[in-house]
Amino acid sequence: MAQTALITGASSGIGAAFARALARRGDHLILVARSEDKLEALAESLRGEQAVTVTVIAADLSLPGCGVRLAAELAGRGLAVDVLINNAGFGSAGAFAQQDPARDAEMIGLNVTAVVDLAHAFLPAMLERRRGGIINVASVAGFQPLPQMAIYAATKAFVLSFSEALWAETRARGVRVTALCPGPVDTPFFEATGTPELRKAVPEGFMMTAEEVAAEALSALAAGRPVVVPGVGNKLLSVVPRLLPRRWMTLASGKAMAR
């Protein structure tokens, strides 16, 4: 049976890959991002390739109350959400003291507050129906502090912890929740940090495609797994911080980021 999936940050990268993968299996889509032109172009392509309904909503999810507004918009259109994919987010690189406070606040709003707002908006109905799913996009950066990307890593640590808690709360009530923790992905993320040279620092064999990451996430959600870390090397990166003293890992990651 076809479901309706809401994907945030759907205009490019992992979000667009989720949209293509879900459209191929016949799911209807609600695509949300700030860039309406990019969303419309993707929607038109998907409608031409698959017999699915694609709804486009341009919205800035970094603003407070995004979940309430989006839920009201969808209710007005008679749309229910079966699967929520909280993918919208961004990062910035550099020493914390040199970062723009307004930009950091926007990052926290999008990476953290919007994830919570949207879960509040759509999870209760899923629980009432006793079916549904949520994928929250975290990161391998969420497994440890990351100097030079302090706020980004902290937001992803929140998403990881929040998702695991929701998984435990909802697993017996028909709803599945998965935290997706990718490592480096070949998307515009690096350019958006303002430090595109970070891409060159990715070890060979660690970079994955958005399509690979989306496919692993959807498989993990279907299997009811609370966390998925795509890629063998990234899985190792997620385990090491649990085995070594946290201070050592923080200093080591700081040296790696400073290169």
Q: Which residues are catalytic?
A: 152
Backbone angles phi, psi at 176, to 5 degrees: -110, 140
Judge contact between 79 and 55, C-beta under 8 A: yes
Q: Which two tokens stand for residue 176?
A: 């599945």
- Give kind and range of the element (H or E) at residue 55: strand 54-58
Give CA–CA dist 106/86, Å, rounded: 16
- Give kind and range of the element (H or E) at residue 52: none
Closest-CA residue to 53 (of 15, 18, 10, 5): 5
First to last CA, the chain: 50
Amino acid identity of residue 115, one-letter, is V
H-assigned helices in the chain? 13-24, 36-49, 66-76, 101-108, 114-129, 150-170, 189-192, 210-223, 232-243, 246-258
Residue that has been written with the tokens 């440890």 in this structure? 144
